[in-house]
Amino acid sequence: MLEELIDAATWGALPFFLIGLFIWSRKWRLLWLFACCFALAYLLTSKSLFRWNELVHLGDWVDLNGPIVQMLSWSFFGGAVVSVGTWRPAGPPWLASFLTGAVLGPIAAAMILSKMAQDKPAASRLVLSASGGSLIGLAGNPALLTLSYHRPEIGYMFIPLAVLFALIASPRGPDIIIEERSDHRLFVFGLIIATSVTLFPAYSSLIFGSAGILVLIAHYKGINGLALANSVLWTFGVSVLAVGAAATGFPEMAAWEMEELQTLRPDSVLPTLGLGALFTACFADVQGAALLGMAFSDRALDLETPGAVEVLTCGLASGGVLHLFLADVWQESLNRWALQMAACMAYMFFLSKVVFL
């Protein structure tokens, strides 16, 4: 019986982890994603795990419909801002990029800042700084948005790590070139939305969705529909794969392993959990990893190790490489990104051995 459960969890999670094979490709990324979705549907039905007519109910059965709606509204708002192309952050480059990441998240921020950068090295610094900004508040990161839903104070715990990420990136004075047609109004509006989501997380889906619609209405003449569609379709696709992995028991298997480790080696639970979350987010996708993290936390009811949710959230929120490929700066960013990941691992070790000892 256990072998059958392991087999089902493995096949169900396989398409999700295959995302990483083509996440680097601009041309084939979405096609590969939906090929993985069709492969998932085939695996689930061919192995008699579910019938075709049951697949549409999986999100409800694994209790992920709410977080998926949150994620879709978040990507819709970010995609809407990217599609209108009038974002102009205020302040010096380090602050402008940091706040852009905090408001829009690393993916939308990467697409915007890379177009405003002086050159590729400058774009790399701005994008990596934005990934640091995404670690503060709830609006900038899907992991914080979902896992900190009932405990928004968790986000404040990562402010030191966010600052460290920004210091590693170190944007410089001439890095940003502002287009004349851009203005600060959309930037101020984004700050208001991010603050509203942080103060009223229960209404985040409504806030993001309404804000995205208002942005599109206000700039209806200059909308890049392809950018908006790509953002929402990517989130939808990775959500489908995450639901498939959750429905076949992958989060349960991970929870059982952590609960067993809690009994045998309790001091190893938090480091193992954090590293697993970080590698999942880096190799697959932050948004899908956040959904799996949500499913894991709901099922690990016997995991009583203090700080488990905080370390899990830290690993999921800090990982990811999609923003580097969207901005086409992965080669220029590799060294600094590796330093950021090392800083994240050191910070998780600090949380494990000092804060939650």
Residue 109: its pLDDT value, please?
Answer: 93
Share of the chain above pLDDT 70, in %: 97
Structure tokens at 100: 């852009």
Looking at residues 76-88, what average pLDDT do you find?
A: 90
How sure is the predictor about 28, in pLDDT bands with cuts at 50, 70 and 90?
A: confident
Nearby residues of 251 by Cβ (< 8 Å), 6 or more positions away: 245, 292, 295, 296, 298, 299
User: Domain coordinates of the chain in residue numbers?
Assistant: 2-355
Measured CA to CA, the distance from residue 31 to residue 15 in angstroms comes to 13
Pick the more confident residue, 111 or 27.
111
H/E stretch holding 204 reads helix 204-218
Displacement of CA 345 from its chain's centroid (Å): 17
pLDDT in tens, 301-331: 778 788 888 999 999 999 889 999 989 999 9
Place 242 in a pLDDT band, splitting at 50, 70 and 90: very high
**Closest by alpha carbon to 175, among 110, 126, 115, 131?**
126
Q: Rg (Cα) of the chain, in Å, rounded? A: 20
CA–CA distances in Å: residue 184 to residues 89, 91, 212, 315? 6, 10, 17, 33
- At 178 the pLDDT is 64
Select the more confidently predicted residue: 222 or 105.
Answer: 105
Q: How far is CA 233 from the centre of its chain?
A: 15
The closest of 337, 342, 271 to 310, measured between CA atoms, is 271
* pLDDT tens-digit readout, 31-63: 999 999 999 999 889 887 888 888 888 989 999
Is the pLDDT assigned to residue 138 strictly greater than 90? Answer: no
pLDDT band at 180 (very low <50, low <70, confident <90, very high): low
